[in-house]
Structure 1
Amino acid sequence: KGEPAVIWLAGLQIPETYIAALVQTACRTKGWPLDKSTLYTKVTTCTDSEELRGKKLPFGAYISGLFLEGAGWDLKRSRLRRQDPKELVVRLPVLQIIPVEATKLKLQ
């Protein structure tokens, strides 16, 4: 029934078009100018997409299937960390992609 709560971004043929569609949909619904809109990305603490079943965002999406190469991810502090020895690739937790107006985006 409709779009899934979590999108496996690595499984899409052209993921850029899906992300562009998120922005366009939010702009059309909220009346924002498309050229003044951007994306806000937030890493969640969920490592399994099943934890977010049924928790769809009103605008934007949860995405999974992304990896880090050359760094690690600290789940407790939600930040990058040094890469563990002999660990080349690290799976990122589920991310939130939220379309926002560029003028209203306040970085932390």
Structure 2
Amino acid sequence: AIGAVPAMWKGCSFPCLKPVAGYFQELLDRLAMLQKWHDVAAPTVFWVSGFFFTPAFLTAALQNFARARNIPIDTVDYDFKVMGMDPSKYTTSPPTGVYIHGIYLEGCGYDATNEQLCESQPKVLYVPGPVLWLEAK
């Protein structure tokens, strides 16, 4: 179909339901994130939906925590703490684990004032979620 991402690309790329123009913009955003990480430093808040295989990133963060403390990785896990909605407010990395943003909630809303899930708005399928602190323990 005109404007669709070719099937061959979909087979070896990140999941994306956008037409080809949106796909390219997302690809450029992902590349910019990785390039900045390489050239400057790791971000203080990671755009988790920008990763191709998120489980590998989450495991690597646990490995970093476990290695720094010389403990087995299978004894380490995450506690999840809800932070604010604005990732730019977090200018330093957390003491353990990682901050992430870029999650979306389906079938509900998010009340940022009370930091809790709420009823979804009519005809709104997805809403952006808050920054989360995945605290390694």
Note whether the superposition's TM-score is higher than 0.5.
yes
CA distance in 2, matches of 1:73, 1:16: 24
Offset of residue 91 of structure 1:
0.3
8 A contact 1:22–1:59 mirrored in 2: no
The answer to whether 1:24 aligns with 2:69 is: no
In structure 1, stretches of 5+ residues that fail to align are 101-108
State the superposition RMSD in angstroms.
Answer: 1.2
Runs of 4+, deviation exceeding 6 Å? none
The answer to whether 1:86 aligns with 2:123 is: yes
- Name the residue aligned to 2:42: 3
Q: Deviations over 1:38-88 (max 9, x none)?
A: 11111112x222121x22113211111100010111112222111111211
- Name the residue aligned to 2:51: 12
Compare relative contact order (CA 8 Å, sep 6+) and give the higher one, 1 or 2.
Answer: 1
TM score, norm. by length of structure 1:
0.83
Task: State how many pairs are aligned.
Answer: 98
Match for residue 34 of structure 1 among 73, 81, 90: 73
Q: Deviations over 1:4-23 (max 9, x none)?
A: 11111101111111100110
Task: Supply the AA of the counterpart residue of 1:2.
Answer: A
> Which structure has more strand as a fraction of its residues?
1
In structure 2, stretches of 5+ residues that fail to align are 1-39
> Which structure has more helix as a fraction of its residues?
2
TM score, norm. by length of structure 2:
0.67
